[in-house]
Amino acid sequence: MPDEPVAALSEVTRTYGGVPVLESVSLAVEPGVTAVIGPNGSGKSTLLRALVGATEPTAGEVRHPGATGPKPIGYLPQRVPFREGFTARETLAFYARLVGDDPDAALERIGLGDAGDRRVEALSGGMRRLLGIAQAVLGDPSLVALDEPASGLDPGMRERAFRAATELADGDTAVAVSSHALDLVDEHADRVVLLRRGEVAAAGPLDRLLEERGAADARELYRVVVGETSASAPGEGDGAGGDEGERDAGDAEPGVHVTGVSDR
């Protein structure tokens, strides 16, 4: 374990139109899998974007002391706008040339070796998410942030997507992944960051948090910390039957107008 974390946020605040989405968030991201969970609008997407430098904090500091290499950071947003007319292999080859990576090896790594010659528009939603993961991890970045990698997928494909994401984590690589699939969090996460109204309500190793809160699993931990037991609480599905990840005002993309939150 290195002396310094791969990435660290110190008192990070982010506002949109004067409305806080993250408030004084401080945390360290270590090698392994860190799951970011919380209700819609709690700031999960904004936290990941701040973590990778895609969104500038309104206040506070983000550092990457342990992110090194030709491509130190990889990022998968909720929606990846792949250009149509190109195959999966051609799509990855474009990005792979920038970091000296092998697109075929990247396809094999996430289980798309047999789909390399299929055009992007012919891929299923799950395959496009896997392709997005492959793109994010080209160049073996030290820090990988994946925003809802299993969102909107059937049970088998979401397990495959989540497993492909978390298998990246090793002694030097930190994977931060947001998800509503709490059963997959139980299975794969080393640590959990639980957000509530833009603040860190709980953070630490999953086993320790379960013991401290007297919870049997991540679902119960969520309910104990957030106090949400309604049908809208995260369930076993991860946006099943919906679009690729619901986003509300708290997780609005920069540049997208959201009434009452963004004046852009």
Q: How does DSSP classify residue 208? A: H
CATH superfamily, with its number, for domain 7-251 = P-loop containing nucleotide triphosphate hydrolases (3.40.50.300)
Record the pTM: 0.83
d(CA 164, CA 179): 14
Q: Smallest Cα–Cα separation from 169: which of 136, 142, 139? A: 142
Q: How is the chain split into domains, by residue range?
A: 7-251
Q: Tens digit of pLDDT per residue, the chain (264 long)?
A: 456 899 999 999 999 998 999 999 999 999 999 999 999 999 999 999 999 999 999 999 999 999 987 789 999 998 888 999 999 999 999 999 988 899 999 999 888 999 999 999 999 888 898 999 999 989 989 999 999 988 877 888 888 888 877 788 877 899 999 999 999 999 999 999 999 999 999 999 999 999 999 999 999 999 999 886 443 344 444 443 333 333 434 444 433 323 233 333
What distance, in Å, lies between the first and last C-alpha atoms of the chain? 43
Q: Smallest Cα–Cα separation from 136: which of 53, 65, 72, 51? A: 72
Q: Cα separations (Å) of 239 from 25, 52, 123? A: 26, 24, 19
